Amino acid sequence: MRRPVIGLCAAVEDVSYRVWNDAAVMLPRAYADAVQRADGLALLLAPDDAVAERPDELLDLLDGVLLAGGSDIDPLTYGAPPHPSVTGTDPARDRFEVALAHLALERDLPLLGICRGMQLLNVAAGGTLVPHLPDVLGSDRHRLEPGVFCAHEVRLEPGSLAAEAIGGQRTTVKSHHHQGAGEIGEGLVATGFSVEDDIVEAVELPERRFALGALWHPEVDVRSRVIGRFVDAARARVPERV
């Protein structure tokens, strides 16, 4: 049996490498490494307005979609006004990923959202975001230092996909974000919460074979089972496309 093809939604960023400084389609290698450790085939997906209009032609090639972390989601995407702490947005990426998420859910294609990807999944389902968690929490405890992951504990609802994916009802996770879920989107259920402050840390769509959003970063934790469980769900779909 062939390996399941996992589409990794990438960012467009200004990147310096060797003698070059240029716009690049990029994603931290940890995402591809985690997919490959689970015996999946990692395929980098660049934002594409034509695909945003016709996502079928891309999803026909994939067995699963991973909405990765990255820049803030434009508040206009969920009908909110600008916020001074929301910067570096990429509306083209937002459009592209919302379109993929909508159709992936419609097709029951395995879908995993990580950090920004969880937020994007919630927005795609009609939910909203808290644009800047320190406004609510009084501190930036989920992103203590830019560029450094911080650890905290998360509790998962018994019997949830999130609990199954991590193999228990409590776990210590690595986070780096300043936004979070506001109103939960239609059909989604909040199944994970920060122990310290009750921020929503996981959402899922129980009616789908695998539709999960995690606000933390399982790709940087080699012990995490989350991405492996997602790739397994995509692998189970492979015979349908052979």
- Residue 201 clears pLDDT 70, i.e. is over it: yes
Q: How far apart are CA 203 and CA 184, in angstroms?
A: 8
Q: pTM for this one?
A: 0.95
- As a whole number of Å, the end-to-end CA separation of the chain is 9
Selecting among 115, 142, 178, 204, the annotated active-site residue is 115
CA-based nearest residue to 175, from 156, 200, 157, 158: 200
- Residue 145 clears pLDDT 90, i.e. is over it: no
Q: Where residue 150 falls among pLDDT bands split at 50, 70, 90?
A: confident
Assess whether 115 carries a catalytic annotation.
yes
Q: How far apart are CA 137 and CA 121, in angstroms?
A: 23
Selecting among 142, 152, 177, 217, the annotated active-site residue is 217
Model confidence pLDDT, tens digit, residues 73-93:
999 999 999 999 898 899 999
Q: How far apart are CA 29 and CA 202, in angstroms?
A: 23
Q: Where residue 139 falls among pLDDT bands split at 50, 70, 90?
A: low
* 89: helix, strand or coil: coil
pLDDT of residue 239: 78
Beta-bridged to residue 20, according to DSSP, are 17
Structure tokens at 111: 């879908």
Q: How far apart are CA 215 and CA 202, in angstroms?
A: 6
Beta-bridged to residue 6, according to DSSP, are 42, 64
* 208: helix, strand or coil: coil
Q: How far apart are CA 27 and CA 217, in angstroms?
A: 13
Q: How far apart are CA 121 and CA 94, in angstroms?
A: 11
Sign of CA dihedral 150, 22, 17, 40: positive
Tell me the mean pLDDT in the region 4-28.
Answer: 93
Assess whether 97 carries a catalytic annotation.
no
**Domains present along the chain, CATH in parentheses:** 5-128+181-190+202-241 (3.40.50.880)
CA-based nearest residue to 30, from 219, 174, 230, 217: 219
Q: How far apart are CA 150 and CA 173, in angstroms?
A: 8
Q: How far apart are CA 183 and CA 198, in angstroms?
A: 14
Assess whether 240 carries a catalytic annotation.
no
Nearest-5° Cα angle at 27, 12 to 106: 85
